[in-house]
Chains A and B, each alone.
Chain A
Amino acid sequence: MDYKLLKKLCDMSGVSGFEKELLGFIAEQIYDFADDIYFDRLGNLIAFKKGTRGSCGKKILYSCHADEVGFVIKYIEDDGRLVFDGIGISDKILPGEKLLIGKKKIPGVISLLPSHLVPKSEKDSPVDAKNLFIDIGADTKEKAESLGVYADYAVFDSRLEPFGDKLLKGKALDDSIGCALLCGLIKSDIPHDSYFAFCVGEELGLRGSSAVARELLPDICINIEATTAGDIYGVEGAARTCELYSGAVLPFMDGSAIYSQRLRKAAIDIAKTHGIKTSTKSLIAGGTDAGAYTKLTGKTEVLGIALPTRYIHSPHCTAAKDDMEQMEKLIFAISENIGAIAREE
């Protein structure tokens, strides 16, 4: 597992709609290892790599998404406050969070009304992002613009770092883990011809993958993601969804897709053969690019492989290194066996 690359990907900025720089970096990483590499008009990065044994007779696609949750700066108030919209983020976690704005990484803070000033009647009210703003320490619009803020993006000011017992914590594990693992696969020798898609706009509603699905019309897609783990104090039973240290998550269904039972069973069998830990999700929630691949072609079987991640879509996504390594082993093992899986149908 290339943790250096993972950290670089997590710490870069790749908010939905602003993935260009991140995808440019990924393109540089894989340029020497892919037989063909291009950006489509939406900005998806698509690569093709020939296998040592040629085609397996089916079109194979490994997919992940490059975009992360973040913020878009809509406009600057006369008093220098920045008005924003969140992309894929719950309003509840926003007050007081540190951000970095734009390419210049201008530091900002999301406003937080001190508790002494909150009226009693509003103490239990839900947070509404419409009432929040970003403070960059400017007291006029001109000062804010002179700092270099325009119609820009913002990300959480958070970096991937070790945490607890062999855990990693930081922003954008969703889906930098997918990007890192696919880079690793492209850099290796794979047995069969395969496509790789680093998609844009997943957090906006599977935008990039919808285009990739229709362009490539894959027969088999392995979609790599991070998924929510609810294994924290106070959450019991099915609501825990999945747990850290339980290996690669192989979901059977989520809010966007019903995954291929055949591929899922094949992945479980391969994992057992290779001593790889796997688990599943006990709560049907969320959505992934699998939704686009399943419904837009009618000919694609999709296998989902996901990293159990606490506090997903926050500045403090937390995941276990062991789970990442189990995912890596599983993806490589599936790649080795993809010909047999394709022929088995």
Chain B
Amino acid sequence: MENIFLGIKALSEFDTVGNNTKQAFEYIKGVLSPFCDSITRDKMGNIIALKKSKNGKNGVKKVVLEVNIDEPGFVATFLKDGRATLHGIGKRGLSALGGKDAISSGGIIGKLVSDAEEPKASDYFFVSDSGVIAPGDTICPVRCPSVSDDGRIMLDGMGQKALCACLVDIAKLQLLLSFDLYFVFSSEKHTANRGAISAAAAIMPDYAIVLELVPKSDSHRGGAVILAKTNGALLSPSVTKELMEASDAAGTMAYVSAHTPQNDSSSAVHFISEGALCGACGVECDDFDNKGIINPSDIMSLEATLCSFLILTEERIGKEEENV
């Protein structure tokens, strides 16, 4: 659990609004360099870590584990009288941001202020005594994760940070696989999945598992959540079944959720990759639009499920290679 908390904490120290992923890239590169064959950042801001297949052959199958690393936030559009007008990127709870400390992509610390009773994103201004920001600078609230009395991790605007931490953990494993395994931390999800589209076009995976947080449901049973359907893509029933089998094999808790994410990356992967077999899974997140509260044991269940999935995929792909 401490690993996950530290991972979330590290990832929350810089903003990743839009395609502003340079600092996140430096962090992930620093952590994963000993474990991956390459870690790159493309022009869209996608961070892509690759574990090449053990055979070192070309033309092997490609498997992608994907999560978006960008988060909802703001971009400064107009400066007047010491206040920066803001444009919101991505949906997030806005009502509780008034008076909060915020930091710009240029490192300027200030506050988010609004005169409106129920402010929209465009009702917020960024004010600062410590410097001047420029139009185009991104801004997000300053935040630090904390642990509740019942052991859950809370982070203002959690976004997908917990799932990014999960993927970083999995990438540290010593895995000998007969396929190329990509860990994609995609950008610009909150601006129409642009990062996932370009990553999918560059990699053209055969299989892709997209990680998503889902809002906590009344029927929350704990463990990993396996999604049967998303709004934009036809998830492969066989991959969904394999994720359930993987969870059983790992002895972890998982269940298939009725939730249908509206804007996840699977649509990009499926559409762009000429029909990559796509699945989606994640964990439940309480207070989804505001605080963001996750149960670290759910993340551990998800990690175990995904590791088990990779092992089962290795067995299946290994058999396919033998039959060729």
Contacts and interface: CB of A to CB of B under 8 A. Distances in A.
B43 A260 contact: yes
A282 interface: yes
Interface string B142-162: 000000000000000000000
A298 B43 contact: yes
A55 interface: no
A298 B46 contact: yes
A280 interface: yes
A284 B87 contact: yes
A283 B77 contact: yes
Nearest to A264: B136
Interface in A286-345: 291, 294-301
A252 B135 contact: yes
Interface in B147-206: 188, 191-192, 194-195, 197-199, 201-202
Contact of A298 (B85, B192, B198): B198
A298 B136 contact: no
A258 B191 contact: yes
A168 B202 CA distance: 43
A297 B78 contact: no
Nearest to A262: B43
A237 B43 contact: no
A285 to B, nearest CB: 9
Contacts of B80: 237
A253 B201 CA distance: 22
A258 B202 contact: no
A238 interface: yes
Contact of A261 (B44, B136, B202): B136
Interface in B81-96: 85, 87
Given A238-B85, A252-B136, A284-B87, A301 B43 contact: yes
A220 B206 CA distance: 29
B43 A300 contact: yes
Nearest to A259: B136
A296 B136 contact: no
Contacts of A291: 194
Contact of A253 (B44, B75, B195): B75
A291 B162 CA distance: 29
A214 B204 CA distance: 14
B141 to A, nearest CB: 20
Contacts of B136: 252-253, 261, 264, 280
A317 to B, nearest CB: 23
Interface of B: 18-19, 42-44, 46, 75, 77-78, 80, 85, 87, 135-136, 188, 191-192, 194-195, 197-199, 201-202
24 contacts: A214-B201, A237-B78, A237-B85, A238-B77, A238-B78, A252-B135, A252-B136, A258-B188, A258-B191, A280-B135, A281-B77, A282-B85, A283-B78, A283-B87, A291-B194, A294-B43, A295-B195, A296-B198, A297-B43, A297-B202, A298-B46, A298-B198, A299-B43, A299-B202
Interface of A: 214, 237-238, 252-253, 257-258, 260-261, 264, 280-284, 291, 294-301
Given A237-B78, A283-B78, A295-B194, 15 more contacts: A252-B75, A253-B18, A253-B75, A253-B136, A257-B194, A258-B18, A282-B77, A283-B77, A284-B75, A295-B195, A295-B197, A296-B198, A298-B42, A298-B199, A301-B43
